[in-house]
């Protein structure tokens, strides 16, 4: 398996622009997670999906952020409008099923490094 795939790997944009990050989870995984990582705050869970349905978006910082999962093999995280404080590395991860015995192991994609000028 190719693992979790994310695109783009790097994104530089100007404040106010729309940014769309993309993720393809590992085939057969039922859960998809979007994280943001910064030096100050570490790895923060933004939202996660189960079988394409958003389960918990309480980590989404504000209404400028939205996420969709139209099918089992594709998800997007959109920021509109973007702001400099959104600059971070955004990771997508997927897992097979609920917790217990390591079956909740999350596998991370390579991340998207976002810079908002």
Partner 1 sequence: QKEVEQNSGPLSVPEGAIASLNCTYSDRGSQSFFWYRQYSGKSPELIMFIYSNGDKEDGRFTAQLNKASQYVSLLIRDSQPSDSATYLCAAGVSGYSTLTFGKGTMLLVSP
Provide the binding-site residues for partner 1, judged by CB under 8 A: 31, 33, 42-43, 45, 48, 50, 55-56, 91, 95, 97-102, 104-111
In angstroms, rounded to a whole number, what is the distance separating the alpha carbons of residues 93 and 36? 11
Question: 12 vs 83, which CB is nearer to partner 1?
Answer: 12
Question: 52 vs 81, which CB is nearer to partner 1?
Answer: 52
Question: 58 vs 71, which CB is nearer to partner 1?
Answer: 58
Q: How far is the CB of 73 from partner 1 (least distance, A)?
A: 19
């Amino acid at each position: 398996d190719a693992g979790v795939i994310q695109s783009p790997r790097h994104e530089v944009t100007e404040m106010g622009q729309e940014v769309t990050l993309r993720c393809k989870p590992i085939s057969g995984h039922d859960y998809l997670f979007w994280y943001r990582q910064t030096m100050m705050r570490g790895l923060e869970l933004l939202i996660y999906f189960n079988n394409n349905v958003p389960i918990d978006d309480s980590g989404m910082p504000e209404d400028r952020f939205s996420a969709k999962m139209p099918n089992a093999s594709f998800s997007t995280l959109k920021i509109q409008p973007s702001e400099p404080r959104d600059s971070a590395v955004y990771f997508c991860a997927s897992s097979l099923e609920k917790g217990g015995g390591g079956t909740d192991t999350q596998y991370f994609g390579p991340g998207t490094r976002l810079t908002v000028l």
